[in-house]
Amino acid sequence: MIEVKNLWKVYRTGNIEFTALKGINLFIGKGEYTAIMGPSGSGKSTLMNILGCLDRLTEGRYILNNKDVSKLTDNELARIRNREIGFVFQAFNLLPRLNALENVELPMMYAGISAWERRRRAREALAKVGLEDRMYHRPNELSGGQKQRVAIARAIVLNPSVLMADEPTGNLDTASSYEIMKIFQELNNDGTTVVMVTHEPDIAQYTKRIVMVRDGNIIEDRAVDNRITL
């Protein structure tokens, strides 16, 4: 499902170049639950942004669900991002003037789904993350954990094959982090492939596989033993 071959990413700022990824090879199959770990600045977010089709690679190949993503136009890439990938960010990235329901409906606007159907599916996604009683609240009326649950509902509302998350618990307390990990495990149990960046070893223990990145290379790739299941 996710197949990365000899992936390089070079950032260019004026005439300064920085090589953030140095020939990464990675295969992630359907239904896996993977944590990407490593020190700050090692290239985790860069890798995640490329896997999530938010950014482009400089060299190499990225095949997502049998499509060579490296060859797509910007429009085609945006379409894949919306239809096949759900992305969750550390800072939630909700629109402050919209309530929870409206935030969750957003990805469906671009997918051309009727207003009635959008509302129905948004309610269903919010119920799945346990927020049926907060649908009409705006982000500033929600706790951090609740905001992240709205963001997860938005990410899964179009039934993506992959859910990607960059430090999803980075701004949350222990209890809220636990709630988020419970939801990720449920989604993974239901068949969604989950890829998550985290620098917290406790959080990685909820996943099935740890890929360790350092200085733009994968230095370790192993199964999680003594995995925590909720």
Choice between 40 and 140, CB closer to ligand ADP: 40
CB 167 to ligand ADP: min, Å: 6
Give Cβ neighbours of residue 207 (< 8 Å, ≥ 6 apart): 33, 34, 35, 194, 196, 224, 227
Choice between 42 and 185, CB closer to ligand ADP: 42
**Is 198 in contact with 150 (CB distance < 8 Å)?**
no
The full DSSP string for 136-177 is: T--GGGS-HHHHHHHHHHHHHTT--SEEEEESTTTT--HHHH
Choice between 36 and 122, CB closer to ligand ADP: 36
Choice between 158 and 165, CB closer to ligand ADP: 165
**What ranges make up the beta strands (E) of the chain?**
2-13, 16-28, 33-37, 59-64, 67-68, 85-88, 162-166, 193-197, 209-214, 217-223
Tokens, residue 16: 């300064």
CB 151 to ligand ADP: min, Å: 15
**What ranges make up the beta strands (E) of 69-158?**
85-88
The rounded distance, in Å, linking the Cα atoms of 162 and 50 is 13
The rounded distance, in Å, linking the Cα atoms of 71 and 123 is 36
The rounded distance, in Å, linking the Cα atoms of 78 and 92 is 20
Tallying the residues shown for the chain, one arrives at 230
Binding site for ligand ADP (CB under 6 A): 11, 13, 18, 20, 38, 40-46, 167
Choice between 91 and 111, CB closer to ligand ADP: 91
Choice between 163 and 197, CB closer to ligand ADP: 197
